[in-house]
């Protein structure tokens, strides 16, 4: 009945030919700077060829995959050897500049975790001759954005500015990179702010889940096991000299690279960079080595009680693999099928088929050292056990050969939408940062599609088996223990470790 | 059968200059006999395009007892249509390298697909099919499936989030019970439970008609060819009954309301909300700038006092939340441990009164306007998705009738003087007509802002 109705409407829409009457308005040439346009009416009669009448019985054919022409990646060196990577982009008068150094949260000493993060936050709290307020006022007045950041293995300063304010913004950017002043009173203020943030994490099921997840996977001795903003003890211990030392150690010429994207050319931007960074002194920062984190050797549930929570936050995972693995492309394809897109198995199963959640996904966090593989969701409390059953089902099913249809969809999804990552100066800077951070070759963008398309069904199965081991996996759940513990026990997935929020985060800091 | 239709096309090519900013988005506009408005914009930066459609219906149109329905309906739009089996909307699009999403507000519902240029016709097929034939294959089971998803969205985004219920409580107290903004777009769990298959059919027939929609195709497109394809795919959808614009009397708070809520939070948070002029009406841009002067950046009045100097707040924000019928203006601040919302409120009132009594400095206003200017420039970069050029063209068209309203929009800010900012503070930030919400840790009502008359 429904089917015939569909056909009837489709048929009535596709019969016959017609003449179309189109009224066109032709624009007058815009002369000088006058805003003027004139409307001229013309009547055109165009008839639809049969090909223009919609055939709704099947989806329309796709065109040939488009090719993207990107501006070249240009390389320069300042007189002191700092590499500059440039991509011109002239559509909008904007410029993004990023300075990246090697050195980040992994370099935090054990008793000073949070150091990298605090150092970069404090680089914005006074630089050159300006104090914190003056610096912020100068940046905001330009309509620019200059911010210092730290990651696991890198730190840096990124600048976004309208082209018209480039010179003024560059001067402030140079001050923040080279001449931060680290005022003591600003450190005290930031310290209180961070301790308060730690306190607020007690309210946030996502933060609680994330802290326990990293701790369970990497343990207390590996840098990836610790929160990058630090803990109460380490935040209280940080001193101005620690920050100065971190800055001096890692923010130096031999350890820095610069990315420029936007409405500039090499000959325009290089003298400006040379004037600011050309006399910066070198000295290589020593790169540390770290103990290898131990992989999960069992399956265990860490149940963190959040009484009365209407949903359970679930994080399932184990240690994955480093960014430069030869399995990178196969893993990207495999994860797209498992939990990397809307039509991925986890989302379709938990959201669309069962309605357990607003969304479920998975991800490999590729870092310099092996980062986590994570599958997660927020599910309705009452069906936490059922959701877990479906998670385990999908983690096992991905170990089997995937159908061609899913494989091809994932490969197309990864490759055909790739150009979307190159629309804004910010997006392009992020793309170039990947090249800079992992020393990828210049033809990386060009070969991306080829590399994804080369992934076979066997590759997908091989990497699934290699990296996803549902028997040896951590399951973190933040939820209402009273309701979910018994059903979870009945699943017999492994031991259940009961924790309180305080077990995970410690006591909420007292901020005086 | 012969299909006869009329395309009215505006081809507008202006380049306007504002300082160094070039805020012009060229477009062509035309409409089909079934009333669908189409807007085309070329941007050949990268080989992607986007299809962006706005239906001029939001949660403001919901019937009593059916709050959350417009948004539930948005979810159902992805469940397949007459010629698209369930699940295939997303599968076909992803297999072609595309992506999609939708969103609902009190005023409208929007949907977009981003895709490589090779998938333009696929996107038009999918978008037109659900406009024409959604309910042909709608079933109670589909409604049930998305009902569960949306209920979990409510749990995730509101119920299981610290301070998550604030926006719902504020809306209910700012607007009278019969005002379209009184109830939240996410709806209540009870009303979501009550939504029926028949409601879906009614809503679709009433509001999902081409004459109640506007479509933007933007990106690496050939306008002539795109025009033809849009015409081909959307012309078989019949004209619907006219949809009258939603009206509502301007809301007014005759007195102050003070509310205290307890939540599972460590720190108390204060919300002061006012009713304010609707989007694009006089006062709207002024309030955007006032929000920046109050809480945009370290040098803003409230950040400097509360967070930087006194250090009695962890954060403070202010914004003009602009909508088509009425807006609201908000100041929100979280107290540091050991401090009460009474302390915060005292400082906030002091700073607002300072602006009422003395014009802000030219530099404060200029600093805000400069930030808005670079914000406008950033919007020239991305074509698709929420807040991309296509979405903005559609937004401007719906609210002003002119898709390329970028310059006019920015000109509103550019023209402002410190006196203008002072004037909206005096007019709208009344102490005898606002809603003051305190969210406090459980059992800690003493941390709330004082009750009425107790300030």
Convert the pLDDT of each residue in A433-455 to its tens digit: 999 999 999 999 999 999 999 99
Instruction: Determine whether the interchain pair A137/B299 forms a contact, defined as Cβ–Cβ distance below 8 Å.
Output: yes
Over residues A180-205, the mean pLDDT reads 98
Give the torsion through C-alpha atoms of A491, A495, A499, A503, to 10 deg.
-150
Instruction: Determine whether the interchain pair B336/A192 forms a contact, defined as Cβ–Cβ distance below 8 Å.
Output: yes
The pLDDT of residue A39 is above 60: no
Confidence of residue B2 (pLDDT cuts 50, 70, 90): very low
What percentage of chain A has pLDDT greater than the value 90? 86
Average pLDDT of chain B is 94
Residue B217: name the closest of B126, B81, B120, B125 by CA.
B120
Name the residue among B114, B122, B125 with its Cβ closest to that of A420.
B114
Instruction: Determine whether the interchain pair B160/A415 forms a contact, defined as Cβ–Cβ distance below 8 Å.
Output: no
Instruction: Name the 3-class secondary structure at A151.
Output: coil
Which residues between 396 and 435 in chain B have a beta carbon less than 8 angstroms from any beta carbon of chain A?
Answer: none
Instruction: Determine whether the interchain pair B13/A27 forms a contact, defined as Cβ–Cβ distance below 8 Å.
Output: yes
3-state secondary structure chain B: CCCCCEEECEEECCCCCECCECCCCCEEEEECCCCCEEEEEECCCCCEEEEEEEECCCHHHCCCCCCCHHHHHHHHCCCCECCECCCHHHHHHHHCCCEEEEEECCCCEEEEEEEEHHHHHHHHHHHHHHHHHCHHHCCHHHHHHHHHHHHHHHHHHHHCCCCCCHHHHHHHHHCCCCCCCCCCCCCCHHHHHHCCHHHHHHHHHHHCCHHHEEEEEEECCCHHHHHHHHHHHHCCCCCCCCCCCCCCCCCCCCCCEEEEEEECCCCCEEEEEEEECCCCCCCHHHHHHHHHHHHCCCCCHHHHHHHHHCCCEEEEEEEEECCCCCEEEEEEEEECCCCCHHHHHHHHHHHHHHHHHCCCCHHHHHHHHHHHHHHHHHCCCCCCCCCCHHHHHHHHHHHHCCCCCHHHHHHHHHCCCHHHHHHHHHHHCCCCCCEEEEEEECCCHHHCCCCCCCC
Å from B290 to nearest chain A CA? 15
The pLDDT of residue A378 is above 70: yes
Nearest-Å Rg of the Cα atoms of chain A is 28
The pLDDT of residue B414 is above 60: yes
B236 chain-A contacts, CB cut-off 8 A: 9, 12-14, 54
Over residues B32-56, the mean pLDDT reads 97
- Asked if the domains at B23-234 and B257-447 fall in one CATH topology, the answer is yes
Instruction: Name the 3-class secondary structure at A511.
Output: coil
Instruction: Determine whether the interchain pair A37/B13 forms a contact, defined as Cβ–Cβ distance below 8 Å.
Output: yes
- Note the pLDDT of residue A288: 86
Å from B195 to nearest chain A CA? 16
Instruction: Name the 3-class secondary structure at A363.
Output: strand
B98 chain-A contacts, CB cut-off 8 A: 416-417
Enumerate helices (H) and strands (E) in chain A, giving the number of each. Answer: 18, 16
Residue A368: name the closest of A116, A103, A48, A82 by CA.
A103
Interface mutation target, options A420, A453, A510, chain B, most CBs of B under 10 Å? A420
Confidence of residue A1 (pLDDT cuts 50, 70, 90): very low
Confidence of residue A287 (pLDDT cuts 50, 70, 90): confident
- Note the pLDDT of residue A30: 26
Q: Where are the domains of chain B?
A: 23-234, 257-447
Instruction: Determine whether the interchain pair A25/B19 forms a contact, defined as Cβ–Cβ distance below 8 Å.
Output: no
Q: Is residue B33 within 8 Å of residue B211, measured between CB atoms?
A: no
- Note the pLDDT of residue B453: 57
Is B118 in CB contact (< 8 Å) with chain A?
A: yes
- Asked if the domains at A74-277 and A300-505 fall in one CATH topology, the answer is yes
Confidence of residue B22 (pLDDT cuts 50, 70, 90): low
> Could you tell me how many residues make up chain A?
512
Over residues A25-37, the mean pLDDT reads 25
B87 chain-A contacts, CB cut-off 8 A: 343, 348, 352
Among chain A residues, the shortest Cα distance to B226 is held by A52
Q: Is residue A481 within 8 Å of residue A205, measured between CB atoms?
A: no
CA A156 to each of CA A148, B46, B54: distance values in angstroms, whole numbers, following the listed order: 6, 28, 40
What residues are paired with B7 via a beta bridge?
A22
The pLDDT of residue A243 is above 80: yes
Name the one residue in this structure whose structure tokens are 């803003």.
Answer: B300
CATH number of A300-505: 3.30.830.10
Beta strand pairing status for B27-31 and B10-12?
A: antiparallel
Å from B159 to nearest chain A CA? 7
Is B145 in CB contact (< 8 Å) with chain A?
A: yes
Q: Where are the domains of chain A?
A: 74-277, 300-505
Over residues A130-155, the mean pLDDT reads 98
Å from B250 to nearest chain A CA? 35
- State the pTM of this model: 0.91
Among chain B residues, the shortest Cα distance to A423 is held by B382
- Taking 3-state DSSP, the helix, strand and coil percentages for chain A, each rounded to the nearest 5, stand at 45, 20, 35
- Note the pLDDT of residue B10: 30
In tens, the pLDDT along A65-119 reads 998 889 999 999 999 999 999 999 999 999 999 999 999 999 999 999 999 999 9
A195-198, Cβ contacts within 8 angstroms, sequence gap of 24 or more: A195/A232, A195/A235, A195/A236, A195/A509, A195/A511, A196/A509, A196/A511, A196/B267, A196/B314, A196/B336, A196/B337, A197/A229, A197/B314, A198/A229, A198/A231, A198/A232, A198/A235, A198/A505, A198/A508, A198/A509
Interface contacts (A, B; CB < 8 Å): 306
Is B366 in CB contact (< 8 Å) with chain A?
A: yes
A311 chain-B contacts, CB cut-off 8 A: 152, 155-156, 159-160
Interface mutation target, options B126, B150, B316, B374, chain A, most CBs of A under 10 Å? B374
Is B442 in CB contact (< 8 Å) with chain A?
A: no
Is B236 in CB contact (< 8 Å) with chain A?
A: yes
* B23-234 fold: Cytochrome Bc1 Complex; Chain A, domain 1 (3.30.830)
B45 chain-A contacts, CB cut-off 8 A: 91, 422-423
Among chain B residues, the shortest Cα distance to A51 is held by B232
CATH number of B257-447: 3.30.830.10
Name the residue among A24, A356, A425 with its Cβ closest to that of B9.
A24
- Note the pLDDT of residue B186: 97
Instruction: Determine whether the interchain pair B5/A15 forms a contact, defined as Cβ–Cβ distance below 8 Å.
Output: no
Instruction: Determine whether the interchain pair A423/B383 forms a contact, defined as Cβ–Cβ distance below 8 Å.
Output: yes
In tens, the pLDDT along B166-207 reads 999 999 999 999 999 999 999 999 999 999 999 999 999 999
Instruction: Determine whether the interchain pair A143/B371 forms a contact, defined as Cβ–Cβ distance below 8 Å.
Output: yes
Which residues between 301 and 340 in chain B have a beta carbon less than 8 angstroms from any beta carbon of chain A?
Answer: 304, 308, 311, 314, 336-338
Average pLDDT of chain A is 90
Instruction: Determine whether the interchain pair A65/B22 forms a contact, defined as Cβ–Cβ distance below 8 Å.
Output: no
Confidence of residue B47 (pLDDT cuts 50, 70, 90): very high
Instruction: Determine whether the interchain pair A412/B15 forms a contact, defined as Cβ–Cβ distance below 8 Å.
Output: no
Over residues B109-133, the mean pLDDT reads 98
Å from B356 to nearest chain A CA? 23
- Note the pLDDT of residue A511: 87
Name the residue among A26, A408, A417 with its Cβ closest to that of B99.
A417
Confidence of residue A284 (pLDDT cuts 50, 70, 90): confident
Instruction: Determine whether the interchain pair B9/A22 forms a contact, defined as Cβ–Cβ distance below 8 Å.
Output: yes
Name the residue among B19, B118, B267 with its Cβ closest to that of A64.
B118
Over residues A310-336, the mean pLDDT reads 98
Comparing B23 with B71, the larger pLDDT belongs to B71
Interface mutation target, options A7, A42, A60, A506, chain B, most CBs of B under 10 Å? A60
- Note the pLDDT of residue A285: 73
Instruction: Determine whether the interchain pair B153/A358 forms a contact, defined as Cβ–Cβ distance below 8 Å.
Output: yes
Residue A113: name the closest of A23, A30, A34, A231 by CA.
A231
* A74-277 fold: Cytochrome Bc1 Complex; Chain A, domain 1 (3.30.830)
Name the residue among B82, B99, B370 with its Cβ closest to that of A9.
B82
The pLDDT of residue A416 is above 80: yes
The pLDDT of residue B342 is above 80: yes
- Note the pLDDT of residue A357: 98
Instruction: Determine whether the interchain pair B96/A378 forms a contact, defined as Cβ–Cβ distance below 8 Å.
Output: no
What percentage of chain B has pLDDT greater than the value 70? 94
Confidence of residue A52 (pLDDT cuts 50, 70, 90): low
């Amino acid at each position: 009945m429904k089917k015939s109705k569909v056909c009837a409407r489709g048929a009535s829409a596709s019969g016959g030919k017609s003449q179309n009457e189109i009224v066109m308005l032709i624009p007058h040439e815009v002369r000088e700077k006058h805003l003027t346009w004139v409307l001229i009416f013309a009547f055109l009669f165009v008839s639809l060829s049969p090909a223009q009448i919609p055939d709704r019985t099947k989806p329309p054919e796709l065109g040939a995959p488009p090719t993207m022409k990107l501006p070249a990646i240009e390389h320069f060196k300042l007189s002191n050897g700092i590499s500059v990577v440039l991509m011109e982009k002239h559509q909008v008068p904007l410029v993004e500049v990023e300075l990246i150094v090697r050195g980040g949260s992994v370099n935090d000493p054990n008793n000073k975790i949070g150091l990298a993060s605090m150092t970069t936050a404090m680089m914005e709290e006074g630089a050159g001759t300006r104090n914190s307020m003056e610096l912020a006022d100068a940046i905001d007045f330009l309509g620019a954005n200059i911010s210092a950041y730290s990651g696991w293995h890198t730190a840096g300063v990124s600048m976004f500015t309208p082209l018209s304010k480039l010179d003024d913004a560059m001067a402030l950017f140079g001050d923040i990179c080279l001449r931060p002043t680290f005022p003591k009173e600003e450190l005290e203020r930031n310290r209180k702010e961070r301790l308060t943030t730690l306190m607020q994490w007690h309210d946030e099921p996502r933060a609680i889940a994330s802290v326990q997840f990293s701790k369970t996977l990497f343990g207390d001795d590996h840098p990836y096991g610790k929160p990058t903003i630090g803990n109460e003890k380490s935040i209280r211990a940080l001193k101005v000299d620690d920050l100065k030392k971190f800055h001096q150690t890692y923010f130096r010429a031999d350890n820095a690279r610069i990315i420029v994207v936007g409405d500039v050319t090499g000959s325009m931007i290089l003298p400006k960079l040379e004037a600011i960074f050309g006399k910066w002194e070198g000295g290589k920062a020593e790169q540390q080595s770290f103990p290898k984190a131990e992989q999960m050797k069992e399956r265990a549930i860490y149940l963190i009680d959040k009484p009365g929570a209407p949903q359970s936050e679930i994080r399932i995972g184990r240690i994955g693999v480093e960014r430069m693995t030869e399995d990178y492309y196969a893993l990207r394809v495999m994860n797209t099928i498992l939990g990397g897109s809307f039509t991925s198995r986890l989302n379709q199963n938990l959201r669309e088929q069962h309605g357990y959640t607003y969304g479920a996904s998975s991800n490999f966090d590729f870092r310099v050292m092996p980062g986590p593989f994570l599958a997660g969701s927020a599910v309705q409390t009452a069906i936490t056990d059922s959701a877990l059953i479906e998670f385990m089902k999908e983690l096992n099913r991905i170990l089997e050969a995937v159908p061609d249809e899913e494989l091809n969809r994932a490969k197309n999804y990864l490759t055909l939408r790739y150009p979307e990552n190159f629309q804004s100066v910010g997006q392009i800077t992020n793309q170039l940062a990947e090249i800079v951070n992992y020393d990828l070759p210049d033809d990386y963008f060009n070969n991306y599609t080829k590399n994804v398309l080369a992934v076979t069904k066997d590759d997908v199965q091989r990497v699934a088996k290699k990296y996803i081991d549902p028997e040896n996996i951590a399951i973190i759940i933040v939820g209402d223990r009273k309701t979910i513990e018994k059903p979870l026990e009945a699943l017999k997935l492994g031991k259940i470790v009961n924790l309180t929020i305080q077990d995970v985060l410690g006591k909420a800091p007292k901020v005086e | 059968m012969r299909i006869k239709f009329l395309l009215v096309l505006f081809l507008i090519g202006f380049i306007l200059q504002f300082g160094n900013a070039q805020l012009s988005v060229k477009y062509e506009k035309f409409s089909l006999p079934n009333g669908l408005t189409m807007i085309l914009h070329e941007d050949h930066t990268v080989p992607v395009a986007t299809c962006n459609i706005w239906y001029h219906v939001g949660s403001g149109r919901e019937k009593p007892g059916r709050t959350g329905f417009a948004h539930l309906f948005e979810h159902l739009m992805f469940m397949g249509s007459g010629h698209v089996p369930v699940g295939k909307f997303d599968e076909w699009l992803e297999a072609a390298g595309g992506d999609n999403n939708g969103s609902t507000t009190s005023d409208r519902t929007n949907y977009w697909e981003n895709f490589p240029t090779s998938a333009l016709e696929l996107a038009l097929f999918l978008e037109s099919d659900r406009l024409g034939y959604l309910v042909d294959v709608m079933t109670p089971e589909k409604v049930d499936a998305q009902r569960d998803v949306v209920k979990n969205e409510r749990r995730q985004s509101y119920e299981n989030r610290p301070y998550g219920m604030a926006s719902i409580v504020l809306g209910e107290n700012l607007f009278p019970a019969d005002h379209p903004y009184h109830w939240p777009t996410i709806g209540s769990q009870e009303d979501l439970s009550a939504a029926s298959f028949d409601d879906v059919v009614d809503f679709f027939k009433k509001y999902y008609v081409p004459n109640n929609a506007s479509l933007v195709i933007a990106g690496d497109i050939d306008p002539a060819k795109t025009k033809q394809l849009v015409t081909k795919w959307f012309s078989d959808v019949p004209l619907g009954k006219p949809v009258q614009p939603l009206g509502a009397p301007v809301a007014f708070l005759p007195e102050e309301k003070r509310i205290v809520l307890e939540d599972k939070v460590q720190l108390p948070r204060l919300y002061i909300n006012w009713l304010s002029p609707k989007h694009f009406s006089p006062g709207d841009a002024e309030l955007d700038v006032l929000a920046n002067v109050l809480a945009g950046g370290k040098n803003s009045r409230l950040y400097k006092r509360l967070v930087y100097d006194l250090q009695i707040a962890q954060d403070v924000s202010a914004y003009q939340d602009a909508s088509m019928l009425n807006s609201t203006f908000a100041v929100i601040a979280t107290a540091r441990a050991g401090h009460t919302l009474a302390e915060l409120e005292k400082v906030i009132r002091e700073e607002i009164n300072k602006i009422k009594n003395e014009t802000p400095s030219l530099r404060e206003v200029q600093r805000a306007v400069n930030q808005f200017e670079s914000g406008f420039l950033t919007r020239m970069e991305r074509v698709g998705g929420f807040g991309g050029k296509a979405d903005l063209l559609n937004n401007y068209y719906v609210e002003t009738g002119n898709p390329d309203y970028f310059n006019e929009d920015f000109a509103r800010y550019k023209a402002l003087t410190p006196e203008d900012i002072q004037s909206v503070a005096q007019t709208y930030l009344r102490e005898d007509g606002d809603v003051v919400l305190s969210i406090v840790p459980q059992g800690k009502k003493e941390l709330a802002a004082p009750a009425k008359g107790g300030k």
